[in-house]
Amino acid sequence: MSRGVLTRSGPAALEIEDVQREIDRMLAERGARATAYGAHFARLWAAAAECITGGKLLRPRLLIGTFEGAADGDGGPAADRGAVLRVAAAVELLHYAFLLHDDVIDRDLLRRGRPNLIGTVLRDRDAAAFEGASAGGTPPDPADLHWASTSGILMGDLLLAAVHQVFARERLPEPMRLRLLDLLDHAITESVAGEHLDVALSHGVAPSELASVLDMSRLKTATYTFELPLRAGAVLAGASAETEEAIARLGRHLGVAFQLQDDLLSTFGRAEEHGKDPYSDLREGKETAIIAYARLTEAWPEIARGFGSPTLTAAQGARMRDRLIDCGAHRFLRSLIEEEIGACAELLAAPGAGIPPALAAYIGRLIESIEERRL
Amino acid sequence: MSRGVLTRSGPAALEIEDVQREIDRMLAERGARATAYGAHFARLWAAAAECITGGKLLRPRLLIGTFEGAADGDGGPAADRGAVLRVAAAVELLHYAFLLHDDVIDRDLLRRGRPNLIGTVLRDRDAAAFEGASAGGTPPDPADLHWASTSGILMGDLLLAAVHQVFARERLPEPMRLRLLDLLDHAITESVAGEHLDVALSHGVAPSELASVLDMSRLKTATYTFELPLRAGAVLAGASAETEEAIARLGRHLGVAFQLQDDLLSTFGRAEEHGKDPYSDLREGKETAIIAYARLTEAWPEIARGFGSPTLTAAQGARMRDRLIDCGAHRFLRSLIEEEIGACAELLAAPGAGIPPALAAYIGRLIESIEERRL
């Protein structure tokens, strides 16, 4: 997404580069303090900073865009620029804390083709073993892997603590600070509940029903990716409780639409566009809404044969993709996305919705971005 | 430790039962909210509450004892009773968050003979497999173990977040709130650095030198067990920065003495008194100061043969214990503990130490409790 879509221009505009600088500053400060605890601990912070660099900063962009749109409303006084940048940076660090613990739980060494923190720590120990393991070859030495995943658990804890420190320390009017803390608490509860459900589904502890899979996807990703930054932007802009509630509803619909679009793209999109392994979701047996729908159709027995098979070939993957289209799973996902987008449009058009015009225009551009898969 | 040692009597005295009620209330409130996310997530909170019940509440006792002693000083106004109870409860939840992630990292299913959260989740899945695995027999099904340790990671995250919410939301004068947040940040950084170093030592990533082992033990346990509750108690009592700093130094010495005493007790104490498996530290190959000292002596080659062996018999364990006494490791630990205690006595006796008399008397009783192994 181009920067202009999400932030206004002008001398006082909040720039995403400033959020990046704020993230860099937080990591550098904590990294510098870590040197007091020896070379290994300092290296852990440095490795985390390497892995965190280069993200799309979607969540801070959403927070800033909403803040700027909502600041034109008729609410109370807005927070100052510095507080907005720091909270936006913290929301990005929360994303990394979640990714890190997810990667420990999923035993992943890579994220979007690059070594994640666990992969980086493993590579530091034994570069050849990392290369072999990340290419799906020989498993690494269990002691090295344990050291690497321990590092992932501990760095996730440190980032989670750092996020809370930002929310807790901002010099904001007390009601605003407490509302932000409520949002953070809610987002963490939902994300953790979603991850718990995801693992329950993958182990068959919870049955893979369509409703559960949709719940999981909303809880695990949509809440902290959309509802949290949108609501936090509105609260920081001094929006009224009604506007915040309207934004929260919009955020939930947008978040689910975004997540379903991401599932569609991973399974049916062209690899050169989204940059992921084209059949990784199918190979890993990821329980998406696509799969939950397909389970209800007659095509399932054939799809099930290759689903979750680590040795799935490109030809088998392509055939499975065709079956998922034939059985209606692709069409079904499109209709779910249209429903979510339709609900947003309805909320925006409702009289007295409490959405200031600049914010409504911003949400409209977000909807387009999701529809055109540009987020 | 009897309650009377740590809290004053009288109608307005803070009682440890009130902290327990506060912990129960926090867990019940979060458990009730968890039911919105399905039966498995609600069960996770219920299992956590079961595992948290029945602790000795050492850290809240220390916080309350220090608060009551320091409130007699000449500092500013103290926090109200409710805030002290909530922060004391949060410090206990922090302890459980650390224990949980430690148990995930160490792959432990039991804590002091009872199933920990991971063991409880595993037992819920397959009671027979849990019994077998916790008795050191057949390893459990990897998928069940993954589900259980995932639950441990996620509940640790939820508790860590809950602790921060308490510190962040208390309605305290801003400087007091920020000082408490500083303490929490410092305690988490040191505990995580200590755990990181512990795992580095156990994998040989860091060399097992005496200085590193002593650092590890101070960072991993002493800071959050003593320095955090003592300083937080002083801050909540409105103590001056000088008094807080004096308390911090005392807390570090007491914490190291307590931890070393605990290591001594685990290895040389009578099992019927401390309630642990008498040779578990030796069998697990735990890198304590005792072992780090023994490595420097001529007795090491013989001790090394059984150290870290899961099949260590009671007779071998008893022989190893004798060798550790002969080589001077026991005597060495005693002298380290005396040094720490001596440093405390010196700080207490120094003119202008900034310790109010009631607090000095309380610290004196704590020293006795550590020397007599009653903590």
- Asked if residues B145 and B153 have their Cβ atoms less than 8 Å apart, the reply is no
- The predicted-structure confidence for B202-235, as pLDDT tens digits, reads as follows 999 999 899 999 999 999 999 999 999 999 999 9
B111: enclosing H helix or E strand: strand B110-111
Kindly report, residue by residue over B347-372, the tens digit of the pLDDT: 999 888 889 999 999 999 999 999 88
- Give the mean model confidence (pLDDT) for residues B164-190: 97
Collect all residues of chain A within an 8 Å Cβ-Cβ radius of residue B157.
Answer: 101, 156-157, 160, 188, 192
B4 pLDDT more than 70: no
Instruction: Choose among A160, A165, A195: nearest Cβ to B161.
Output: A160
Query: Using CB atoms, which residue from A33, A105, A197 is nearest to B189?
Result: A33
Asked if residue B133 lies in contact with residue B139, where contact means CB atoms within 8 angstroms, the answer is: yes
- Boundaries of every domain in chain B: 3-371
Residue B1 has a pLDDT of 35
State the number of CA atoms in the 13 A half-sphere of B333 facing the CB: 29
Q: Which residues contact A142 (CB under 8 A, 6 or more apart)?
A: none
B191 touching chain A per CB within 8 A: no
The answer to whether the CB atoms of A188 and B104 lie below 8 A apart is no
B185 touches chain A (CB under 8 A): yes
Mean pLDDT over all residues of chain B?
A: 91
CA A141 vs CA A8, B22, B203: distances in Å:
51, 45, 11
Which residue(s) pair with B114 in the sheet? B111
Give B196's contacts in chain A (Cβ within 8 Å): 37, 40-41, 44, 150-151, 154
State the pLDDT confidence band at B164, using cuts at 50, 70 and 90: very high
Nearest chain A Cα distance for residue B11, angstroms: 33
Measured CA to CA, the distance from residue B180 to residue B73 in angstroms comes to 19
Separation between Cα atoms, residue A322 and residue A302, nearest integer Å: 11
CA angle (B96, B148, A203) in 5-degree steps: 150
**Per-residue b/e over A300-335, b at no fewer than 16 CB within 10 Å?**
beebeebbebeebeeebbeebbebbeebebbebbee
CA distance A282 to A288: 9
In three-state secondary structure terms, B348 is helix
Chain A residues in contact with B99 by the CB 8 A cut-off are none
| Predicted local confidence at residue A275, as pLDDT | 59
| A3-371: CATH topology | Farnesyl Diphosphate Synthase (1.10.600)
Integer angstrom CA distances of residue A108 from A48, A119, A199, B349 = 15, 8, 14, 56
What SS3 class is residue A297?
Answer: coil
Residue B85 and residue B14 in contact, taking contact as beta carbons nearer than 8 Å? yes
Question: Contacts for B327-330 with beta carbons within 8 Å, 24 or more apart?
Answer: B327/B293, B327/B294, B327/B297, B327/B298, B327/B299, B327/B300, B327/B303, B328/B293, B328/B297, B329/B290, B329/B291, B329/B293, B329/B294, B329/B297, B330/B264, B330/B268, B330/B290
> Please, are residues B323 and B297 in contact by the beta-carbon 8 Å criterion?
no
What pLDDT was estimated at residue B72? Answer: 74
pLDDT value of residue A271: 67
- A188 at interface of B, judged by CB pairs closer than 8 A: yes
Cα A263 to its chain centre, rounded Å, is 13
Task: Report which of A372, A158, A355 is spatially closest to residue A265, judged by C-alpha positions.
Answer: A372
**Cα-based distances in Å from A240 to A72, A237, A318, B349:** 12, 9, 50, 57
Q: pLDDT-derived band of residue B274, with 50, 70 and 90 as boundaries?
A: low
| Residue type for position A176 | M
Q: Give the distance from CA B234 to its chain's centroid.
A: 19
| A52/A143 Cα distance (integer angstroms) | 25
In tens digits, chain A (375 residues) has pLDDT values of: 333 334 444 446 789 999 999 999 999 999 999 999 999 999 999 999 999 988 899 999 999 999 999 987 777 889 999 999 999 999 999 999 999 999 999 999 998 889 999 999 999 999 998 998 888 778 899 999 999 999 999 999 999 999 999 999 999 999 999 999 999 999 999 999 999 999 999 999 999 899 999 999 999 999 999 999 999 999 999 999 999 999 999 999 999 999 999 999 989 987 666 556 678 889 888 889 999 999 999 999 999 999 999 889 989 999 999 999 999 999 999 999 999 999 999 999 988 888 999 999 999 999 999 988 776
Choose, out of B189, B197, B217, B228, the residue to mutate when testing the contact with A (most A CBs < 10 Å): B189
Contact B37 A197 (CB under 8 A): yes
Phi, psi of A288 (to 5 degrees): -100, 175
Measure A219 CA to nearest chain B CA, in Å. 9
Q: Retrieve residue B25's tokens.
A: 């209330």
The contacts of residue B162 (CB under 8 Å, 6+ apart) are B26, B30, B90, B93
The b-or-e profile of B261-283 (16+ CB within 10 A means b, else e) is: bbbbebbebeeeeeeebbbebbb
Question: Which residues, numbered 40 to 79 in chain B, qualify as contacts with chain A under a Cβ-Cβ cut-off of 8 Å?
Answer: 40-41, 44
Cβ contacts (< 8 Å) between B141 and chain A: which residues? none
Give the whole-angstrom CA distance, residue A196 versus residue B227: 34
Question: Do residues A185 and B163 lie in contact, with contact meaning Cβ atoms separated by under 8 Å?
Answer: no
How far is it, in rounded angstroms, from Cα A109 to Cα A334? 32
Tell me what pLDDT residue A1 has: 35
Q: Give B115's DSSP letter.
A: E
Crossing angle of the two packed helices A241-268 and A58-70, in degrees rounded to 10: 150
At B84, is the pLDDT very low, low, confident or very high (cuts 50, 70, 90)?
Answer: very high
Give A37 to chain B, closest Cα distance, Å: 7
Q: Do B144 and A193 touch (CB under 8 A)?
A: no
Provide the 3-class DSSP secondary structure of residue A111: strand
